[in-house]
Amino acid sequence: MSKRGRLRVLLGAAPGVGKTYAMLEEGRRLVGEGKDVAIAIVETHGRAATAAMTAGLERLPMRTHGHRGIELDEMDLEAVLKRHPQLALVDELAHTNAPGTRNEKRWQDVEEMLEAGINVITTVNIQHIESLNDVVERITGIPQRETVPDEVLRSADQVEVIDLAPQALRDRLSDGYVYPAERIDAALSNYFRLGNLTALRELALIWLADEVDQALLRYRSEHKIDKTWEARERVVVTLAGGLEGETLLRRAARIASRSSGGELIAVHIISPDGLRGNDPAAIAQQRSVVEQLGGTFHQVTGEDVPTALVEFARSVNATQLVLGVSRRSRLSALLTGPGIGATVIREAGDIDVHIVNHEAAGGGSLLPKIGGALSPKRRIAGFLLALAGGPLLTWALKVMHVPESITSEVLSYQLLVVIVALVGGIWPAVFAALLSGLTLDYFFVDPHHTITINEPRHLVAILLYVTIAIIVSFVVDRAARQTRVARRAAAESDLLQTVAGSVLRGDEAIPALVERTRESFGLDYVRLMEQDRVLAESGGPSESGGITDGAGDPEPDSAAIVDGPAVPAALPTNVVELEDGASLEMYGPELQASERRLLAVIAAQINAALEHSDLEDAASEVEPLAASDRVRSALLSALSHDLRRPLASAAAAVGGLRAAGGAMSEQDRKELLATADESLQALAKLVTDLLDVSRLQAGVLGITLMPVDCSGAIATALDELEYGPDQVEISLDADVPAVAADPVLLQRVIVNLLLNASRHSPPDKRPRITTSEFDHVVEIRIIDHGPGIPPERRDDAFVPFQRLGDTDNSTGLGLGLALSKGFIEGMGGQLQPEDTPGGGLTMVIALPEALGESAAERGDGADD
């Protein structure tokens, strides 16, 4: 069996960075060293420099496959395996093979070559990595259908990034080294935006850095290396949920920032049962701080905190650990032994440990409070058990008493004390311990029927009873407290999740919050009041004037706002005052202090919802009035100038004809008629534009979509304008498919945009019109080299009656761009302004491809 070949991957952030060129250059170098190298497949995409690099390299024959009447050339895998070169050069690893070939994907062909013992150098772009496919789509807005599984790349013996600065790549594109001239403008304005290229470059470098990091971890794991390798600083900071968390985070961030590429990692250790002894809200706040500082947050389960912390630090190859000084008092530390910090220092080994002081250091109490976590019912049950169980046990032991049974009698009373402690907690247990000690002395210790403590051992026995009772009670009380905290946290989390879910699912926020308040606290009726108006309610008054339980019939519609107050017979048991005079009234059981904390959170959300509702109402009232006022003012201003000019010209021409009568020469008569005709046509166009604007705003503009050839629409527009090659530069792509559009409206849009481009272009530079197709969207670009429009004013260009500084009153009402945008959007497309490379403005008409085969399906596209 032959040894598996080695795979070397050249990774690029985008097409055109030079991956194929670098692959061929390496192939030529190896040939010069006497290696057996052959080109299995290379895609030059018409780039002369890339094609020149194939000289001197053996090219293996291709195999032709027919698909939908088109001949497609694919790599001949059988020929490669038969030739079996020492090294094969395979371009575009993510390529999808033509139907009928041996494998669906080219990376599967490469796998067969590797299994046959052939070394392979191949190329791939970052957008084709499976795990990054959705990320790249969000960055560029363009889906990638051809992907390579991550495990294929991670199994490569060598991955290299072929890097090129984003602006350098755009310069190469502008100079025609990447795409032909007709595709340059579309590429620069879409996929090859500077921001896109910068993000893709960063993504490629991060992916490679992560791959190197994973390779290092695999090597350390395979070779059983536990010691820290300080390839880069990794600072792990421990968060315990206390107030010192933010202090520790910022100190750790400063430590990490001192080294280039330092990494901040925060970790919170929780117990296996999921119960936290600290405030979850503080942990959530500190997690947000971690993200702001550029770090990562981890939550680890561990019974022993120091051990779990050190194991986590070693698992991430940490170089430094940051902990806070213990919050325990000195006396508590003396009694309970070394704390977490001292244990971590002892176990950390070669990891540096920083113990950071903070305000909460040493502020803890000696012992936990002996508070009653058990319910009153359990305490009463404990006392009753002690009162009833003591006499019954005494009677049973008295019946069976023999002089030798004193040991069993002592243990029996001790068992009773433990059982009472488990049921009722500390005070019933202490009562049972004292009662048992006195009973034991009275009935079973000589002299009988007397209570005398004349020997120290008797006193010691009673003290032992009380001590056992306190210890067992403390354990029971702590377990009950943790159980209550866990249940409370789960209930609060469930409530907040339900509230948020109700709003996110589309429920009205205010009624949803009121409804969840009633359900969560088991209230009979809840209503949100604003002065004497009910904004929302849940539950409701019964027919007899009482309060319904929320399941009564009928229940008011909680989504409605009631004009008059529905006053219940009883007064509210709980009232929360909100902002702007609103109040939340609750009828039912009195809320406990622990419940009021959660109620405050809900009240804050209701306040936010009310404020948002008020802002929406104000905006909905003001915006139409403001928009109407702006349009009215602009319309009056425009009409006072632009309609007056053609009217005045036509009136003057007609008046001249009437005054002259038959005394006017034929030439003067024709000129006046021409002036009147031109003015009336201009007036008709202005009125038509005004009517079209009103139809657009009313949504009643009639649009008929059909397949339209872009070249034909452009030719018709040029004929209408009587523009020739000396006035407009034309560069149309013959392979652009038809678009779904209204031919008349599309022609009007092209005419409007060409007129604008001609008006703003300098005399020595003609406007240019191009077409291109990208991802089933056809773009018509009308390019000028004039002053352009500042980015902050581009939205104003599409507002009716705006001419952005034109004051000659000969350029219309300023409706051209507004109408053009409305026409294109009505046809399901977009009209967007862009900067022209070198200065100027480019208007891009983007329309969907008409139903039918796309360029990619016809086989006339090329992989990037």
pLDDT level of residue 353 (50, 70, 90 thresholds) = confident
CA–CA distance, 758 with 780 (Å, rounded to integer): 16
Residue 725 scores a pLDDT above 80? no
Give, for 159, the enclosing helix (H) or strand (E).
strand 158-162
Angle of CA points 602, 608, 612, to nearest 5°: 145
DSSP letter for 93, please.
Answer: T
Give yes or no for a contact between 186 and 834, defined as CB atoms under 8 angstroms apart. Answer: no
Residue 769, token pair as written in the block: 């019109």
SS3 labels along 361-406: CCCCCCCCCCCCCCCHHHHHHHHHHHHHHHHHHHHHHHHCCCHHHH
Per the model's pLDDT, the better-predicted residue between 290 and 333 turns out to be 290
Which CA distances in Å does 143 have to 1, 146, 854? 41, 9, 15
pLDDT tens digits, 797-851: 776 555 544 444 444 445 667 778 877 888 889 888 888 887 888 989 999 988 7
**Of 205-219, 423-437, 482-496, 686-700, the least confident:** 686-700
Per the model's pLDDT, the better-predicted residue between 137 and 358 turns out to be 137
Percent with pLDDT over 70 in the chain: 71
Residues of the chain with CATH 3.30.565.10: 706-858
* CATH architecture designation of domain 7-222: 3-Layer(aba) Sandwich (3.40)
pLDDT level of residue 139 (50, 70, 90 thresholds) = confident
At residue 362, the pLDDT reads: 47
Give yes or no for a contact between 94 and 133, defined as CB atoms under 8 angstroms apart. Answer: no
H helix runs in 66-132, sequence order: 77-83, 106-115
Closest CA to 27 of 162, 157, 121, 161: 121
Q: From the CB of residue 362, how many other CB atoms can be counted at a distance below 10 Å?
A: 13
Residues of the chain with CATH 3.40.50.300: 7-222
Q: Is 700 exposed, middle or buried (0-12, 13-18, 19+ CB in 10 A)?
A: exposed
Residue 609 scores a pLDDT above 70? yes
Give, for 494, the enclosing helix (H) or strand (E).
helix 456-504
At residue 419, the pLDDT reads: 85
**Of 102-116, 514-528, 546-560, 714-728, the least confident:** 546-560
Residue 387, token pair as written in the block: 């009162």
At residue 1, the pLDDT reads: 53
Residue 10 scores a pLDDT above 80? yes
Q: From the CB of residue 767, how many other CB atoms can be counted at a distance below 10 Å?
A: 24
Q: What is the mean pLDDT of the chain?
A: 75
pLDDT tens digits, 361-416: 544 443 334 445 566 787 888 889 888 888 888 888 888 877 767 778 777 877 88
At residue 359, the pLDDT reads: 59
Placement of tokens 């016809």 in the chain? 858
At residue 800, the pLDDT reads: 58
Give yes or no for a contact between 87 and 35, defined as CB atoms under 8 angstroms apart. Answer: yes
Does domain 234-356 bear CATH number 3.40.50.620? yes
SS3 labels along 250-269: HHHHHHHHCCCCCEEEEEEE
CA–CA distance, 132 with 148 (Å, rounded to integer): 10
Give, for 599, the enclosing helix (H) or strand (E).
helix 593-638
Residue 236 phi, psi (nearest 5): -100, 125
The arithmetic mean of pLDDT across residues 230-237, rounded, is: 73
Placement of tokens 């960075």 in the chain? 17
Residue 289 phi, psi (nearest 5): -65, -40
Rg (CA), the chain: 42
Residue 466 scores a pLDDT above 80? no
Which CA distances in Å does 638 have to 654, 782, 819? 24, 27, 16
- 455: Cβ–Cβ under 8 A, 6 or more apart, which residues? none
pLDDT level of residue 107 (50, 70, 90 thresholds) = very high
- 217: Cβ–Cβ under 8 A, 6 or more apart, which residues? 317
Percent with pLDDT over 90 in the chain: 9
Residue 465 scores a pLDDT above 80? no
pLDDT tens digits, 631-665: 555 555 555 555 666 777 777 777 777 777 667 77
At residue 552, the pLDDT reads: 38
At residue 457, the pLDDT reads: 67
At residue 297, the pLDDT reads: 85
CA–CA distance, 568 with 561 (Å, rounded to integer): 17
**Of 156-165, 477-486, 578-587, 737-746, the least confident:** 477-486
Residues of the chain with CATH 3.40.50.620: 234-356
pLDDT level of residue 354 (50, 70, 90 thresholds) = confident
Closest CA to 444 of 400, 409, 399: 409
Per the model's pLDDT, the better-predicted residue between 24 and 744 turns out to be 24
Q: Is 132 exposed, middle or buried (0-12, 13-18, 19+ CB in 10 A)?
A: buried
**Of 28-42, 441-455, 683-697, the least confident:** 683-697
Closest CA to 440 of 420, 413, 407: 413
Give yes or no for a contact between 790 and 835, defined as CB atoms under 8 angstroms apart. Answer: no
At residue 412, the pLDDT reads: 84
At residue 508, the pLDDT reads: 66
Give yes or no for a contact between 259 and 233, defined as CB atoms under 8 angstroms apart. Answer: yes
At residue 408, the pLDDT reads: 80
CA–CA distance, 28 with 37 (Å, rounded to integer): 8
Question: What topology does CATH give the domain 706-858?
Answer: Heat Shock Protein 90 (3.30.565)
CA–CA distance, 449 with 442 (Å, rounded to integer): 5
Residue 23 scores a pLDDT above 90? yes
Angle of CA points 786, 790, 795, to nearest 5°: 115
DSSP letter for 663, please.
Answer: G
DSSP letter string, 746-813? HHHHHHHHHHHHHHHS-TTS--EEEEEEETTEEEEEEE--S----GGGTGGGGSTT--TT--SS-S-S
At residue 27, the pLDDT reads: 92
The arithmetic mean of pLDDT across residues 319-328, rounded, is: 76
**Residue 100 identity (one-letter amino acid):** G
Give yes or no for a contact between 679 and 646, defined as CB atoms under 8 angstroms apart. Answer: yes
Beta-bridged to residue 54, according to DSSP, are none
Per the model's pLDDT, the better-predicted residue between 651 and 358 turns out to be 651
Residue 32, token pair as written in the block: 């010069």
At residue 638, the pLDDT reads: 52
Q: From the CB of residue 837, how many other CB atoms can be counted at a distance below 10 Å?
A: 16
CA–CA distance, 697 with 139 (Å, rounded to integer): 33
pLDDT tens digits, 147-200: 888 888 888 888 888 888 888 888 888 877 787 766 777 777 777 888 888 888
